[in-house]
Structure 1
Amino acid sequence: MTGLDKRASGLDRRRFGAAFCALGLGLAIRPTVGHAQAGVEDAALAYLRQNGRAPGDYLISQFERADVVLLGEDHAIAQTLAFVRDLIPNLYRAGIRQLVMEFGAEEDQAALDALITAPTWDPETARRLMFNYNVAWSWLEYRAFYEAAWRFNRTLPAGAPPFRILNMSYVFDWSAYESPATPESLRRIFPRGTIDRFRADLIQREVLDRKEKALVLTGTPHAFMRYASGRVERNADGFCSYDDEWLGNHLLKRNGGRIAAILMHQPFPAAGGADSYIQPAGGGIERLMARVGDRPLGFDLRGAPVGRLPDASAFATCQADFTLGDFFDGYVFLAPIARLQPATAEVDFVTEANIDRALQQYPDPDWKAPPSDLASFRAHLADMPEAIRRRYAAVPAAGR
C-alpha cells in the first residue's frame, strides 16, 4: 500500500495515526466489561468454542465458497508471514495453486515464474526482483515466499503444474513525486493507472477468468470488500464521504460471492486523527482469545456472533453502529498483539551498486523524509522493525 493512496482515502498514518478440543478449556477470569458488551462476548465465546478452527484449516475452508480469498495483513509481521508461507503445501493439495502478493511487479512475472521453477535456488535474483518493485522492501520474510514455493515445486512429480506466486502490482516511478500531489504527478508516479484497479484487473485476468483459485496476501485496506472507508467531509451529504475503490471492492462488484475477505489480528488505528493504535473491538477479540487460552483460531465474523462485537476505531468513521461483521467476512488470530513480532529487515539490501536508484525511487516520501545517502538509507532499513515494535508496544492491553 502506498502513502499516497492511503492519504487520498482519508486513511493515512495519522488516521490509522489450535486444536478444537482445547477450546472449552479456557480458564481466564471473566472480563469486567459493560453488561451489554459482556452479553455479546458471552455469545461470541460460545460460538468460538463450537465453531473456531485451526487457522490454516479455516482459511482453506473459505475456498469451498470462494475462488479468491483476500487476506488483510498488517505488513511485516513475522507470525503472519510464517503462517502463510507454511500454508503453501496445503493450499496446493486443496487445489489453490496461486499465492497473489502485493509486493512484486507484473513486469517481473516471467522472471519470478522462472525463479521458483528453476533447478537451483538463486537468492540474488530473489533480492533483485523485490528491489525492482520497492527499493526499501528489504524484509527477508517476503522473499522467503519465493524460496518456499521453489522448495515445494521441487517435490512435485514431473508434469505437475507448479505452485505459482503472482505479482499483482507494477513498477511505480517515485522520482515524479511532488507535494502536494497533483493529478499530473500521480499519473507520472502511477503510469499504468490507479493501483487497486490495476490489481483487480490482473487478478480477474490471471485467476478468475481462468476459473482458478488464489489466496491474495495484501495490506488490510486493499482487502476491504463490502466495507467502504469513511472520512469526514464538510461538503458531503451527512458530512461523510466513502471510498469503495479498494481492491476487494472492485473484485466484489465484478464477481459477487466468488470473493471472500479475511482479516489477520492486528492493531486498529485510533479514531480522531491521532497517530496511535488500539485493540480491535475495544479489546473484545483479545478478551475472547484469553478465555480460550490464546490459542490460534480462525472464525467467521459476517453473520456470526463474533461479528457483533462493536468497534470504535478509525475504521468506524462515518459508519453507524459499526461492528466487526461490517468489516470483514472472517478473522484469523495467531497471537495477542503484545506477542506479535516484526519481520527481519536486511540492512545491506541497499548497496553502493544500487544506492543511486534507491535514492531516486524511495517509496512514499510523504510518510517519512527520504534518506540522503547510503548510511541514512541503511539506518532507515534498520529502524523498520523497531518502528513496528514501538507501534505495537504502545497498543493498550485489552483489559478485563
Structure 2
Amino acid sequence: MFCTTKGLSQSPGTNGELAGWVKQNALSPSDYLVDRFQDYDILFLAEDHAIQNNLEFVASLIPALYEAGVFTLGMEFGALEAQQRLDSLITAEAYDEQVAREIMFRYNVGWAYEEYMDIYRAAWAFNQSLSEGERPFRVLNISYEYHWSKLEGVQSPENMSRVFHKGTPDAFRAKLIEQELISKVEKGLFLVGSVHGFTRYKMPSLNVIKDNFVEYEDQYLGNRLYRKYPDKVFSVLLHYPFGNRLNHSPSMVTPANGRLEEIMSLNQNQPAGFNLINTPIGKLPDNSYYSMGYPGFTLDQLFDGYIFLAPVKDQVGCTIDEHWFDRHTWDEVKPNIPDPYWKPELHNLDEYMELIRDYANLQKRYAPVLGESVF
C-alpha cells in the first residue's frame, strides 16, 4: 500500500527535505499506478499529448495491469465505431500495421504519432503470450467519430451539435465508461488529455460577469465520473509544463513554480510515482494558469497523484508516421481536419503534415520553459 502521510508537516519543507520524502515514499511509476487500483476502480492518467516518454511508459504497463486484474486500457484517441476492428487487431494471429493506422485515422485524420498506435501493438504482443481461453487485454476507444465536415462558419451551438452529433465528447465518454466498466464492477486505466482527467479540480476561465471575474468548468470527463463515483475515481498527472498566469512571463512554467523539477533533480531525476493528496509534495504552491481564481493554490488541488518520468528537458516528442497519408488525398482529409478554428489555413497534405510534425517538436513547443527552467 502506498504511503501518503509519512513525512507530512504543516510546511512543505526545503527542497532537500522533499527530495528525501520522495526517495523514502515514492514508488516506481508502474508500481504506483498498480497500487492505486487497490483502492480505486477508474484511474485517469492525464497527459500532455504527443510525448514519447509517456506513451512508451503506458505501453509497458500492460503486463502489470493484467496481473493486477486490470484488463482494460481506455484511450481518448479512438472512435467507438472502430472498436470491433481494434478488438480483432489486438487478438489476431498477426499484427497489421496498416489496420492500426486506419483505426487511428478514423478518429483523427491528423494524429500521425506512432507511439499511440504502438500501444495497440503492445496489447497485441501481450495477448500473444496468453494461453488459449485466457481473457485478452483490451484497448477501449472512448470517443466517437466527429463530423468535422459539417462545421460551417464560426462555432455556434447549432453547428457544434452537428459536429458532436452524439453529444459532447466528455458526456459520451463518461456514459461509455459507466456502461463498459463501472456497471460491470471492472477496473480500467484511461489515458486522456490533462483537462479531461480533472476530478475535484474545476478549470478556471475569465468571465467579466462573475463577481470575481472567474468561471469554473466542471463538465470534463473526470469531473462527471467523480461526482457520481467519488470513491471509485482517482486522477494521476504525467509531468509536463503548465501554462503561466495571464500577463505573466515566460508563457510556460514547470509545476510548483519550478520546485518540483528542482526536487526531482536532487534524486538524479529518478522516475517516481507518488500521491499529491495528503503529502508534502502536494502542498507545494503553484502559481500557474491553473491557480487563477484559487488563492493559495497547491498541487494537491489539481490532481490526486503524480508520475515523474523525466524532466521537461529530457522529454521527447512522438515519432511521425511517414506513411500516414499514403492512401489518402487532400480532398478526403481537408474537410475532416479536427478543430480547424485552432489551425492556420492549410492548402495541401504537405502543409498539414508539417503542422503535425511541428506539434511533436517539444523543443519548440516547450521553448518558453526550456529557456527558463532547465535543471
TM range (shorter): over 0.9
TM-score (norm 2): 0.93
Partner of 2:275: 300
Please, which moves more after superposition, 173-182 or 270-279?
A: 270-279
1:175 to 149, 165, 190: 149
Partner of 1:85: 59
| Deviation, structure 1 residue 399 | 7.3
| Deviation, structure 1 residue 273 | 5.8
**Which blocks of at least 5 consecutive residues in structure 2 are unaligned?**
1-9
Partner of 1:147: 121
Change (3 A) 1:127 1:239: same
The answer (yes or no) to whether the contact 1:146–1:165 under 8 Å persists in 2 is: yes
| Deviation, structure 1 residue 178 | 3.9
Partner of 1:267: 241
2:140 to 166, 169, 180: 166
SS of 1:348's equivalent in the other structure is: coil
Change (3 A) 1:225 1:344: same
SS of 1:237's equivalent in the other structure is: coil
- Per-residue deviation, residues 59-80 of structure 1 (Å, max 9, x unmatched): 1111011001100001110110
Partner of 1:315: 290
SS of 2:342's equivalent in the other structure is: coil
| Deviation, structure 1 residue 38 | 7.8
Superposition pairs of residues 1-400 of structure 1, within 5 angstroms:
39=13, 41-272=15-246, 276-351=251-326, 353-386=328-361, 388-395=362-369, 396-398=371-373
Change (3 A) 1:38 1:166: closer
- 1:93 and 1:253 map into 2 onto residues whose CA distance is 29
Please, which moves more after superposition, 279-288 or 174-183?
A: 174-183
| Deviation, structure 1 residue 256 | 1.0
**Among the aligned pairs, what percent are the same residue?**
39
**Structure showing the higher helix proportion among its residues:** 1
Task: Please tell me the residue identity of whatever aligns with 2:238.
Answer: M
- 2:352 and 2:210 map into 1 onto residues whose CA distance is 41
Change (3 A) 1:93 1:76: same
- 1:357 and 1:273 map into 2 onto residues whose CA distance is 40
- 2:148 and 2:61 map into 1 onto residues whose CA distance is 34
- Per-residue deviation, residues 255-291 of structure 1 (Å, max 9, x unmatched): 1110000000100011106793111111111011011
- 1:48 and 1:299 map into 2 onto residues whose CA distance is 8
TM-score (norm 1): 0.87
| Deviation, structure 1 residue 352 | 5.7
- Per-residue deviation, residues 342-362 of structure 1 (Å, max 9, x unmatched): 011123312363432211101
**Which blocks of at least 5 consecutive residues in structure 1 are unaligned?**
1-35
SS of 2:320's equivalent in the other structure is: coil
Task: Please tell me the residue identity of whatever aligns with 1:197.
Answer: A
SS of 1:389's equivalent in the other structure is: helix
SS of 2:34's equivalent in the other structure is: helix
| Deviation, structure 1 residue 237 | 3.1
- Per-residue deviation, residues 25-51 of structure 1 (Å, max 9, x unmatched): xxxxxxxxxxx9883545533321221
The answer (yes or no) to whether the contact 1:307–1:323 under 8 Å persists in 2 is: yes
Task: Please tell me the residue identity of whatever aligns with 2:310.
Answer: A
Corresponding pairs, count? 364
SS of 2:339's equivalent in the other structure is: coil
Partner of 2:7: none
TM superposition outliers: structure 1 runs of 4+ over 4 Å: none
